[in-house]
């Protein structure tokens, strides 16, 4: 088996579930590496990553939050994304926290579309994933379709703050 983050994780734990191991590896990345990985996953959908259909119906529940994010200046948009990853409690991360799991996945997909369009703070042209994040990306590309979607869903579901918890 080729060296990978999942292989390393599995040798350190008793977990043999590649989805769980990959999600854990993502969560160990720095905040900006997690954001960069989500961006890279979006940019590679349809090539090395299988796209997930976000569903327009799900996005209607996140429309208000997406509008709030679009109205923020770029530095605050980035801070909002960092707050989501770091589970910091803000009105916006709590609004995200009440979304359903699939709506959270659709939210991040739409956020990436808006970043690609330049409406939300774009990723700098010079940005490059760290070596560790690149290894995790490689692990994700080797997963089956259903596993890729599960990894992405579990990653974004863990973000934000559930005000009901």
Domains with residue ranges and CATH for the chain: 5-157 (1.10.2090.10)
Which of 21, 49, 46, 2 is CA-nearest to residue 149?
A: 49
Take residue 80 and report the two structure tokens written for it: 């909002």
Residue 72, classed as helix, strand or coil, is: coil
Q: What is the pLDDT of residue 56?
A: 52
Residue identified by tokens 């560790």 is 132
Q: What is the pLDDT of residue 55?
A: 56
Take residue 4 and report the two structure tokens written for it: 């990978």
Q: What is the pLDDT of residue 163?
A: 87
Per-residue pLDDT of the chain (165 residues; tens, 9 = 90+): 343 544 444 445 445 799 999 999 999 999 999 999 999 998 887 655 555 555 555 678 889 999 999 999 999 999 999 999 999 999 999 999 999 988 998 899 899 999 999 999 998 888 899 999 999 999 999 999 889 989 999 999 999 999 887
Q: What is the pLDDT of residue 88?
A: 97
Instruction: Provide the residue count of the chain.
Output: 165
Q: What is the pLDDT of residue 60?
A: 81
CA 160, CA 165: separation in Å to the nearest integer? 12
Direct distance between the N- and C-terminal alpha carbons of the chain, in angstroms, rounded to an integer: 40
Question: How is residue 3 annotated by DSSP?
Answer: -
């Amino acid at each position: 088996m080729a060296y990978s983050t999942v292989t390393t994780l599995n040798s350190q734990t008793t977990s043999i579930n590649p989805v769980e191991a990959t999600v854990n590896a993502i969560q160990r990345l720095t905040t900006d590496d997690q954001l960069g990985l989500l961006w890279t996953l979006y940019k590679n959908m349809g090539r090395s990553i299988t796209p997930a259909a976000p569903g327009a119906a799900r996005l209607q529940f996140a429309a208000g939050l997406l509008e709030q994010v679009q109205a923020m200046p770029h530095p605050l948009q980035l801070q909002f994304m960092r707050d989501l990853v770091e589970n910091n409690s803000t009105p916006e991360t709590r609004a995200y926290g009440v979304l359903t799991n699939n709506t959270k996945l659709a939210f991040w997909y739409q956020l990436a579309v808006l970043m690609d369009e330049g409406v939300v703070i774009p990723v700098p042209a010079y940005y490059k994933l760290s070596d560790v994040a690149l290894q995790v990306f490689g692990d994700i590309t080797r997963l089956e379709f259903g596993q890729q979607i599960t990894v992405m869903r579990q990653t974004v579901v863990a973000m934000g703050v559930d005000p009901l918890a």
